[in-house]
Amino acid sequence: MSGQPTVTGAATPLVIFTPSGRRGHFPPGTTVLDAARALGVDIDSVCGGRGLCGRCQVEQSVGSFAKHGIESLPQHLSPFAATEAEYRDRRGMQVARRLSCVAQLRGDVVMDVPIESQVFRQVVRKGLEVREFQVDPVVRLHYVEVAPPRLASPSGDLVRLGESLEVEWGLLDLEADVHVLQTLQGALEEGRWAVTVAVHDGRTITAIWPGLHEVAYGVAIDVGSTTIAGHLADLADGTVLASKGMMNPQIRFGEDLMSRVSYAMMHPGGAAEMTAAVRGALDSLLTSLVAKAGVRRDEIHELAIVGNPIMHHLLLGIDPVPLGSAPFALATDRAVRIRATELGLTVHPGARAYLLPCIAGHVGADTAGAILAEAPHESEQVTLIVDVGTNAEIVLGDRHGLLAASSPTGPAFEGAQISSGQRAAPGAIERVRIDRQ
């Protein structure tokens, strides 16, 4: 037809919505919002589809999606309309976003519905069971009084600080981060030669403050295939101050683990896209945690992170493709400790991130964390640990030995590629509790 965009997809465009996974064919010219409503995808809209409220924003996932057999290209949506431009100029809108009440189907598309546009937002609740553990943080704060410099003893400030820490706290041969050296003299002068330092693992000075400083926090994060959970704790006494769960934005690249490996295989730069997505999500999670706890980001000095092997590798920027086929080789099965800033996280510049070790190709650091928490290897009784998510891990054993295995369970429990039912949302099952009595 003259004057109409060329449709390179199917004659009747296919639209697939994420994270719900709902899909259907609609005539060209159908708005994305109308298609969503017909499929039961609940997109927020209070202006009657007139492009005024901006609550119906969606984002097109562009590229080839082999598992769906389609290409989602920019020209498969109608061009950016004047109504959208007016809203963007008036209220602001992210570059990749479209108003679903205005954007029309011209070909096959994959559309992501961000959480702020969802009417029935998914219930993402990751509970915390409090158990008794001896608090032994890897980051400790130490207050010391340092001898002022003297002409007769021209030793550097770091040397004299180290001598005071050795005398008062028994700490030997400490190193210091560069940013500590940059603020060392100012802190000593402001504190009148009394300072507090943060020492990581008894080896490295990672922070310094003038006078007495008593605040340091840590964050534990579980990076799941579908959800991410975080808990912010006081490193001094282990008190959990805030907990938060959120969707893993990688779900738009594939509902399950193998789908994401396939995305990395089929799309050059796909692994980097997923790495950027999960790192951005972790930084957003930290924003929510510090706001909820009423603390500052630069007061976070330690992060402990777990996840299945593919989440682990993607977070670190490691190619996950070798995990997609036998022999399912890990890049490393050792624990990884890096600066948190290397993961793009906005925390104290001296903060470290500790990623627990993966056990095998599909038995990850999250299972290692579960074993540490439940300690079946110390028990006389045989213990069964089951972690059910998009991927399930099972550990069986006692102090004589442990066996571990994994299996995909996403379709049954997390809603991946289901044709009936729904993810957790108001009206669905929200919680299952086991009565141990």
> Can you give the pLDDT at residue 281?
94
Q: Is residue 47 pLDDT above 80, yes or no?
A: no
Q: Quick one: which H or E segment has residue 309?
A: helix 309-316
Q: Are 231 and 219 in contact (CB under 8 A)?
A: yes
Higher pLDDT, 269 or 422: 269
Q: Is residue 8 pLDDT above 50, yes or no?
A: no
Average pLDDT estimate for 229-252 = 90
Higher pLDDT, 1 or 224: 224
Q: pTM for the full model? A: 0.70
> Can you give the pLDDT at residue 234?
93
Q: How far, in Å, are 195, 206, 208, 349 from residue 190 at the CA level?
A: 9, 19, 12, 21
Q: Is residue 309 pLDDT above 60, yes or no?
A: yes
Q: What angle do CA 246, 250, 254 make, to 5 degrees?
A: 125
Q: Quick one: which H or E segment has residue 124?
A: none
> Can you give the pLDDT at residue 3?
35
Residue 305 has, within 13 A of its CA and on its CB side, a CA count of: 30
Percent of the chain with pLDDT strictly greater than 90? 57
pLDDT in tens, 50-94: 787 788 999 999 988 887 889 999 999 999 999 999 989 888 888
Average pLDDT estimate for 155-173 = 92
Lowest mean pLDDT among 130-134, 176-180, 315-319, 352-356: 130-134
232/85 Cα distance (integer angstroms):
40
> Can you give the pLDDT at residue 2?
34
Domain ranges of the chain: 14-117, 139-210, 217-374
282/344 Cα distance (integer angstroms):
9
Average pLDDT estimate for 396-422 = 75
Higher pLDDT, 364 or 424: 364
Shortest CA distance to 317 belongs to which of 359, 370, 353, 347?
A: 353
Average pLDDT estimate for 214-234 = 93
> Can you give the pLDDT at residue 267?
85
Residue corresponding to tokens 């995909």: 408
SS3 91: helix
List the strands of the sheet with 175-176, edge to edge: 139-145, 194-200, 204-210, 175-176
pLDDT in tens, 92-149: 888 889 999 999 999 999 999 987 787 655 555 555 565 666 778 899 999 999 999 8
- What average pLDDT does the structure give for the chain? 86
Q: Decide if domain 139-210 falls under CATH 3.20.20.70.
A: no
**What CATH fold (topology level) applies to the domain 217-374?**
Nucleotidyltransferase; domain 5 (3.30.420)
**CA 278: distance to chain centroid?**
5
Shortest CA distance to 222 belongs to which of 14, 6, 423, 387?
A: 387
CB atoms within 10 A of CB 241: 15
Q: Are 221 and 306 in contact (CB under 8 A)?
A: yes
pLDDT in tens, 322-366: 988 888 889 999 999 999 999 999 999 999 999 999 998 889 899
Q: How confident is the model at residue 410 (pLDDT cuts 50, 70, 90)?
A: low
173/195 Cα distance (integer angstroms):
18
Lowest mean pLDDT among 62-71, 122-131, 290-299, 419-428: 122-131
Lowest mean pLDDT among 45-49, 156-160, 187-191, 347-351: 45-49
Q: How confident is the model at residue 7 (pLDDT cuts 50, 70, 90)?
A: very low
**What CATH fold (topology level) applies to the domain 14-117?**
Ubiquitin-like (UB roll) (3.10.20)
Q: Is residue 388 pLDDT above 90, yes or no?
A: no
Domains 14-117 and 139-210 share a fold: yes
Q: Is residue 305 pLDDT above 80, yes or no?
A: yes
